[in-house]
Amino acid sequence: GAVVSQHPSWVICKSGTSVKIECRSLDFQATTMFWYRQFPKQSLMLMATSNEGSKATYEQGVEKDKFLINHASLTLSTLTVTSAHPEDSSFYICSARFDRVQPQHFGDGTRLSIL
């Protein structure tokens, strides 16, 4: 089946630092990748959609200057949380799909803790 790998799985860092999370599609080319955020015992909230080689489309209320998304290749997208603060602590999950009619396949998430 389609495999999406996310790295790191857990990161703890100090307030004010920037953190980069990688999302890779291992056995298929992902024309579109998605980034979600999930708080404890809550649902997944879409943050942004990125198509390879294009600028990401951010959901309303998501600061694009804070959450930088790069989708430079068909197998890799990165999310950089810039100048992270404790309120940015959350579970970040990426997903990828081959094309519009294929389902999204999710990574195992990155737990981000900002001290």
Partner 1 sequence: QQQVKQSPQSLIVQKGGISIINCAYENTAFDYFPWYQQFPGKGPALLIAIRPDVSEKKEGRFTISFNKSAKQFSLHIMDSQPGDSATYFCAVSSGSRLTFGEGTQLTVNP
Residues of the shown chain interacting with partner 1 in the complex, contacts defined by CB under 8 A: 4, 6, 32, 34, 41-44, 46, 49, 93, 95, 100, 103-109, 111
Show Cβ contacts of residue 18 under 8 Å, excluding neighbours closer than 6 positions: 80, 81, 82, 83, 84
- Please, what is the minimum distance in Å from the beta carbon of residue 23 to partner 1? 10
Least Cβ distance, residue 44 to partner 1 (angstroms): 5
What values do phi and psi take at 87, rounded to 5?
Answer: -70, -10
Distance CA 31, CA 2 (A): 14
Please say which residue, 15 or 42, places its beta carbon nearer to partner 1.
42
Kindly tell me which of 4 and 112 has the beta carbon lying closer to partner 1.
Answer: 4
